[in-house]
Amino acid sequence: MRKAREARVKSNASKRKVGQRLATTLVSKADFELQVSSAEREHLEAEADEAQVRAERITRESALAEAEAARSSVEQEEVDAKKQRDELKAAQPLAKDALKAARAAEKEASNGRQALHATCNKREKEQEKLEEAKSSAVKNLKEEEYDSRQVEDAHGNAKRQKKKASD
């Protein structure tokens, strides 16, 4: 019996050790499961953060691309504006010369027009005087009495004056 008791005690001690190892293993398993679930939570949070950061990065890259396109467009417009400014600066002296020539031609044409008007007015006044003299001569002739010897007398007077001039 003693051997049976000792065997039982050994068996109980062995069971206790196995129980303690089982308890320790279960506690370790529970700790590891807690660590695994904690690591999984951290992993899920990290994945969520990574997805959010990726979305922000994509948004910012898109905004950057738009800003670069806008900057490129503005730079091109600036280059075009500078080119146009340079072209206009180059054309400015030619335009000024053309403007001076046009003003001179305009002034010359104006002076010519004024001279033409003055000449025309002078001719119109001469025509009026001629018409007035003609009208006055016709009136005088109508008022005069007809002398049939008038032409012969005028011819004779003219001959006498020629003779006196040649003597």
Residue 164 lies in a domain: no
Q: Which of 59, 6, 150 is nearest to 51 (CA)?
A: 59
Residue 165 lies in a domain: no
Across the chain, what does the average pLDDT equal? 90
Residue 133 lies in a domain: no
Residue 158 lies in a domain: no
Residue 52 lies in a domain: yes
The pLDDT tens digits for 10-58 are: 888 888 888 888 889 888 888 999 999 999 999 999 999 999 999 999 9
Please state the domain count of the chain. Answer: 1
Residue 152 lies in a domain: no
pLDDT confidence of residue 167: 66
pLDDT confidence of residue 149: 78
Higher pLDDT, 21 or 63: 63
Please state the rounded mean pLDDT for residues 137-153: 80
pTM higher than 0.85 = no
Three-state SS annotation for the chain: CHHHHHHHHHHHHHHHHHHHHHHHHHHHHHHHHHHHHHHHHHHHHHHHHHHHHHHHHHHHHHHHHHHHHHHHHHHHHHHHHHHHHHHHHHHHHHHHHHHHHHHHHHHHHHHHHHHHHHHHHHHHHHHHHHHHHHHHHHHHHHHCCCCCCHHHHHHHHHHHHHHHHHC
Residue 161 lies in a domain: no
Does the pLDDT of residue 8 top 90, yes or no? Answer: no
Residue 10 lies in a domain: yes
Does the pLDDT of residue 141 top 80, yes or no? Answer: no
| Residue ranges making up the domain that contains 73 | 2-106
pLDDT confidence of residue 153: 83
pLDDT confidence of residue 26: 86
pLDDT band at 119 (very low <50, low <70, confident <90, very high): very high
The pLDDT tens digits for 105-114 are: 999 999 999 9
pLDDT band at 73 (very low <50, low <70, confident <90, very high): very high
